[in-house]
Structures are given as C-alpha cells and as structure tokens.
Amino acid sequence: MPDFEALETELESKDANAFVHVGDRFDDSLRYLTGFSGPDRHYAFVYDGEAILCAPRLFCEQARKEFSGTVVNASDQTATTAGERAAELVSGTVLVPQEIPHDAAVWLEKADCTLESTDVVERMRVQKTETEIERIRAAQEAAQSGMARAETVLASAEIEGESLRWDGKSLTTEGLRRETNAAMAREGASDDRNTVIGAGKSCADLHFTGTAPIKRGETVLLDLSPRGPEGYYGDLSRTFVVDSEGGWERRAYIAAERAQDAAFDALSEGAGTVANTVHEETAAEIGAYGFRPDGMPGFSHSVGHGVGMSLHEAPSLRENRELEKGAVISVEPGVYDPEKGGVRIEDLVVVRENGFENLTDYPRSLVPTVRD
Amino acid sequence: MPDFEALETELESKDANAFVHVGDRFDDSLRYLTGFSGPDRHYAFVYDGEAILCAPRLFCEQARKEFSGTVVNASDQTATTAGERAAELVSGTVLVPQEIPHDAAVWLEKADCTLESTDVVERMRVQKTETEIERIRAAQEAAQSGMARAETVLASAEIEGESLRWDGKSLTTEGLRRETNAAMAREGASDDRNTVIGAGKSCADLHFTGTAPIKRGETVLLDLSPRGPEGYYGDLSRTFVVDSEGGWERRAYIAAERAQDAAFDALSEGAGTVANTVHEETAAEIGAYGFRPDGMPGFSHSVGHGVGMSLHEAPSLRENRELEKGAVISVEPGVYDPEKGGVRIEDLVVVRENGFENLTDYPRSLVPTVRD
C-alpha cells in the first residue's frame, strides 16, 4: 500500500471530503492503492483520511491479509453493490477517477455527493518506491529467464532447408511461446497473455500473436511482459535470426542498437530530462541509418512508456515534460518493414536523481546463443 | 464474434438506436462481443445493426484480424477518447452496460444521447455455442495437464518426518504452483494468476495463495482456472493428502464426492432444471455426512457458477431459475474447517437438452498418483 500523502494533498487542494474508486481485480489503480489481488467482481476503495476497502462476501479474509487499511465486511452494510456501499461511507465533494464504473458514479450522485474527476492516482504511480522497483526487477528477471529459454531453443534448432525443427517437430511461434511462458511460470511470473512472438513479416504487426512455422533467415521478435505475484510487470524485447545472411535485418539491428544507446545517452542526466528528447534522439539515430524515423516502413511507435502495476502507464516518452526520479520506463527502439520483418530491442530502466539504472541484464545479439 | 440477434431484439424492445460499450482488454463482455484481444487502454464497441469497433492507434491491424465487423481507425475520427469516438457514431436512445466507464457515459450524454442500462450481454453469454464449448474444453484440458503435474509431484515427494521434499528442496505451495503453471503454459494456456493452492488450514481460506511448506498428512487443495488463447476459462479443483491417516479429511472427501454425485443427479434432466435445486441437493448430501451445509466450518459457498469468457459469470447455482441449454457451470462442493483444512472437488459441465456433459476427464482420489 502506498503512503497517501498525494491523495491527502489532492483532497485538500480540491476541498473534497473523500476519494472513491470502484473496480475489480483487473483495475490496476485499485490494486496499486490497496495491494488487494481481489475478486473478478467490483469492490470499492474509499479514502477520507483513512483507507477503507469494502470487501465482497467470501473475500474479507483475503482482503485483511493483503490490505493494511480498514476492511468493511459486506454483512456490516445494508447496501449491496460496490458503488452503493462506498456511497454509504462518504458525503459532499468526492474525487473519482474518470473511468469509475458509471453505476458507481450514479450511486454516489444519488447519495447527494458532488463528483469531481481526478488523475491523482496516475500521478502517484509514476514515482516508484524502492519496493516497487524490486518487484519490477524481479518480473524483469522472469522475462530474462523466458528470453534465455527462447534464445536457447532458437540456437539449438536444426535447419532443414528453409525450415527449423526442434524437439522432433517443426518450430512454430506458438511452440516457442509455450516454452517461453513455461520458463517464466517456473520463476513465479505469469505470462499474462502478453507474450508477443513474431516471425518474418508478422514482426511488423506490433501486437500480432501468430502460430506460424519459424523459417531460417527471418527475424524472430520476442516481446515478453510477465507479471509478478504482487502485480508488477517486466518488459523485455529481443530479436534473433537463425542463420542470418545479413542484409536488411543486420542493418536494422545495428540501427536499433545504436538508437537504444542514443536513448541511454539522453537519459544519462537522470531526473529532469525532458521525455520527448529521449524519443527524438532515438528516432534521429534510426534516421541516420537510412530508416524512416516516424512511420512505416521504419520506426513507427514511441521509444518507451512507463511500466509498473500496468504494462503501459505514465510517463510516455513522447511527452514534453521532465522525467521524475523513480519513473520506470521501457527503452525500445524498433525498425519494421511489412515486406521484410521487424527488429526491436527493449530494456527496462529506472530514472535516478543523476542518471538511470538499467533493470535489465540481458545481452543484445542478433545471433541466438544457448543460454540455459 | 457472436450473432447479434439478442442485441437486435433488445434494441427493438427498448426502442433504442444503438448499443455501446467501452473498456479495455480486461473487459470480458467486450472481448465476447468483438473477439478482439485488445490493448490495455479503452476502446469502443458500437452496435446499431452493424457491429463497429473504434480501434486505438497501433491496434487497427490486430482488430481487423480478430474482429469480423467494421473497424474504425482513430485517424478517421476527430474525437480521441473511446467514449467520445462512440458518441460520434450514435444518437437518440443508447443502451449501455451499467459498468460502462463514467467518462464514456458522460461523453454520450453530452452528445444528447439518452442512456439506458441493459444486461443483454450477460444474458447472451449464458448459452454457449459449440465453438465456445470446445474452447472451454481445451482450457479444461490444460487445467487437467496442470493437475496431473501437481498430483505427480505430490505422489513422488519424499517424506522426511512431517515434511515433504521434492527435487532436492522442501516442497511448498509456491513450488507446486510454479510446476503446475509451467505445465499449463506448455499446453498454451495462461494460469491467469488464478492458481489457488492451499495446504492444511489455509485451504479453508477460499482464495488464499500461500507459499508455505506442504506437510505430510495435511489437505492440499488445488483450484486451477487457466485461460485459453481465445479468452475462455477452464476450472478444475482436486484435493490430495500425502500419507493420509484418514479421519477428518477422509470423511470430508467422501462427503464432497457424494455431494458432487448428488449435483450430477440433480443435473441429469438437463435444461429446465432449477439452478438452486442443484445447490440444495448438494448441500443436503454434505449435511447427511455430519458437516454444516451452509457455513463454516462446513460448506460455505455456492455449489457452482457459470464459466466462459469470465471465470465467474451467470448462472449462479443459488438462483431460483431454470438452467438453459448450453450453460457451462462448475460443480464444486467443498467442506472446510479452519482448524483442520479443506476439501473441494470441482468439475466443469455443460447443460444439454436432456442431461449434461462433463467437460472434465480427471479422476477423483484423495491419494495422489503419478500421472505424467
């Protein structure tokens, strides 16, 4: 559970009595606020100087173990829905995230509360504590175990003509994904259905999850974003080619490597660096290698985003604002061509007072090596 | 993508022009409606006779592959947020799920739409198509692979005094969970962080996910709910005791087995069976074995719930209404005692016209056996 200083300040500055949010276990802000891994139905969080969780029936025990504030049991309230239960506890001006479920907002309004939306939780989430950073590092280590497994499979695949065989079968992106996810599960992390593995042309479709056979000489792009037991994500991408003949993918790989180094250079001053200068330095380096720096074919996305309790959160490296110390961001330049394939290299770093710390410890190489 | 007949009928009966929902990849109703595995930010679905998905930037390619309706690209709209984008496409009376994000509801109201809430999607989701049933069966098979792995580990653990050792280490619920999750990953399913493994007294805390060493003679309760690639869940529970001395856990196990058989008997007439009679028959059987049928210590939860695109969905077996054909439900009697442990046996079945089909093929036994 975070300290609620920023929430306290927000309540004071908006002259509000309470903050309320409602959602289920898939709401990352709620999980950040409560530490409660929760049920798949709505529950309510209330902050009015005291942190309160209106726990659903059958989940009070779990809430008491995971949440260090006050747990209100369903049987102690007359209201039944999460929004109505929160409304029983508050009055006057109430701050809510704009995405609070509509029925909860309606319950609060029926109880004569005046709602005002706030993004204070998104802002609180940017600066990670050292505990949060350790959880992200652990998730990144799980991603590294998955990557090592995938790289080992690629390095030990047999080449038969244009095809790859492994473990007596044709090697497919689906087969590689299963091996990778199993390796992350063994480290206690969930793949969270985020394991993107593209091969050849499908690498250029950024979120495509295919099942196709992997061929000799084509780019294999792996983007792993496992989630650890307390809900924090890792995020790691590497690109390999089995039996590369050089050409496009080698040029693209060198451009991505140099672009990542340019991003690291831009981050070397640490907190206070303007986010979009990191993006611009990266894009310029990709442009210097003859690839389009701002679209397809070329580099078509932002160089990075915040990672924490959500896989994508603030800050974006496209924003014209200073990076805060403790922000955890991905650094992921890529070069894509729908006719040729795609290359991306992604590390996860934390912005420090006078520099940055790379939370990733995984080699960069286009040629796969046996690693486990 | 489902056929939209029920949505069409709902629009007609409420004299509405359109249905709108907004959410992210974690919204199961949206995924059911669209097949889109989506991003972790909000997107909009609109139905006005035509099914429309307002896809976020960078996700149009993926949306076109996964969604068979019309994909509207962000660059073809002036609006930017998902709710505002939906509001550009509709007018008049618009049906929305009650949990639609509040900001989306506000955008629709600003565009002079009159909102009316509907539970039509929850109702549509109850009767599964054969395609959905096959996806649930595949997820249940992944759960069975995970269970076989866990059971094998328990059966092959070495007993040292009161402790269990496996693979050179003390066997813990966390270690067992990792093995189980890796086995499900190898089958292409994600554990989805749902793998509940209790040992001894923690079995009585229904959703507790511990990391404690597993001891000889205590109940080990595994509840596995993996999610398959298209988003459908399996749900399987078994309970084992290594080197049981009989007594409480054996009585509880026999009660749970007989109670599950009683539930199957109650379901044998198929569609039209009143849901809560299944619960009552099950509870009565647990009572006949001398355990409390409606609370702790004893049987403290419902005998089952719907399973599909959500792990918990309609129908509940506590409702006083007839089961529909094609409903997929868990059948999971349990007996718990915070001083002794907990036992649960859970299969997943589909309600058929004149009976039911068990989607589970996994033995029931308190004594673990090597299975892989």
Minimum-distance CB partner of B182 among A103, A117, A182: A182
Q: Residue A209: pLDDT above 90?
A: no
- Dihedral-angle region of residue A371 (phi above 0 means left; psi in -120 to 50 means alpha; beta otherwise): alpha
**Best residue of B181, B186, B201, B336 to probe chain A, by most A CBs closer than 10 Å:** B181
Residues of B in contact with A186 (CB under 8 A): 178-179, 181-182
Q: How close does chain B come to A30, measured CA to CA in Å?
A: 14
- Assembly ipTM: 0.95
pLDDT at B326: 98
Sheet strand arrangement including A114-117: A70-73, A51-55, A43-47, A18-23, A93-96, A114-117
Q: Please tell me which of the candidates A96, A115, A185 has its beta carbon nearest to residue B181.
A: A185
In degrees and rounded to multiples of 5, residue B170 shows phi and psi of -65, 135
Name chain B contacts of A26, Cβ cutoff 8 Å: 26
Cβ distance A182 to B178 less than 8 Å, yes or no, reads no
Identify the closest residue of chain A to B174 by CA–CA distance: A188
Task: Tell me which residue in B26, B102, B185 faces A191 most closely, judged by beta carbons.
Answer: B185
Q: How many CB atoms lie within 10 A of CB B61?
A: 17
CB contact burial A156-195 (16+ within 10 A = b; e otherwise): ebeeeeeebebeeeebbbbbbbbbbbbbbbbbbbbbbbbb
Q: Which of A62, A190, A205 sits opposite B207 (nearest CB)?
A: A62
pLDDT at A205 over 90: no
Identify the CATH number of the domain defined by range A5-125. Answer: 3.40.350.10
Give B366's contacts (C-beta < 8 A, 6+ positions apart).
B239, B240, B241, B244, B249, B250, B253, B343
Q: Which residues of B touch A71 (CB under 8 A)?
A: none
Q: Cβ contact (<8 Å) for B59 and A103?
A: no
Cα separation of B140 and B313, whole Å? 16
Comparing CA positions, the residue from A179, A182, A38 lying closest to residue B178 is A182
By residue count, chain B amounts to 372
pLDDT of residue A1: 83
For residue B202, the model assigns a pLDDT of: 85
A164 pLDDT band, cuts 50/70/90, is very high
Confidence band (pLDDT; 50, 70, 90) for A34? very high
Cβ separation of B101 and A96 shorter than 8 Å? no
Point out the least confidently predicted range of A18-22, A81-85, A120-124, B205-209: B205-209
Q: What is the pLDDT of residues A280-312, one digit of tens each?
A: 999 999 999 999 999 999 999 999 999 999 999
- Residue owning tokens 């747990």: A71
Residue B271 at interface with chain A, using a CB cutoff of 8 Å: no
Q: Does B187 touch chain A (CB under 8 A)?
A: yes
The CA-atom distances, in angstroms, between B43 and each of A142, A277, B15, B38, B83 are 30, 29, 25, 8, 8
| 35-64 in chain A: CB under 8 A from chain B | 37, 39-42, 58-59, 61-62
> In whole angstroms, what is the distance from residue A276 CA to residue B114 CA?
41
Report the CATH superfamily, name and number, of domain A130-358: Creatinase/methionine aminopeptidase superfamily (3.90.230.10)
pLDDT (0 to 100) of residue B57? 81
8 Å CB contact of A209 and B37: yes
Question: Which of B36, B99, B110 has the highest number of chain A CBs within 10 A, making it the mutation to test binding with A?
Answer: B99
Chain A contact set for B229 (CB, 8 A): 193, 209
Contact criterion met (CB < 8 Å) for B103 and A96: no
Number of residues that make up chain A = 372
Nearest to B301 among A58, A183, A301 (CB): A58
Q: What is the fold, at CATH topology level, of the domain defined by B5-126?
A: Creatine Amidinohydrolase; Chain A, domain 1 (3.40.350)
Taking the Cβ of residue B308 and every Cβ of chain A, the question of whether any pair is shorter than 8 Å is answered with no
DSSP assignment of B83-127, as one string?
HHHHHTT--SEEEE-TTSBHHHHHHHHHTTPEEEE--HHHHHHHS
Residue A61, pLDDT score:
85
Window 76-105 of B, Cβ < 8 Å to A: 96, 98-105
- Measured in angstroms, the CA of B27 and the nearest CA of chain A are apart by 9
Q: 3-class SS at A239?
A: strand
User: What are the tokens at A279?
Assistant: 């993006």
> Residues in chain B with pLDDT < 50?
none
Q: Would you list the domain boundaries of chain B?
A: 5-126, 130-358
How high is the mean pLDDT of chain A? Answer: 96
| B41, B62, B186: residue with CB nearest A182 | B186
**Beta carbons of A261 and A268 less than 8 angstroms apart:** no
Select from B59, B190, B205 the Cβ nearest to the Cβ of A61: B205
Shortest distance, CA A40 to any CA of chain B (angstroms) = 7
**A160: pLDDT strictly greater than 90:** yes
Interface of A with B in 315-354 (CB under 8 A): none
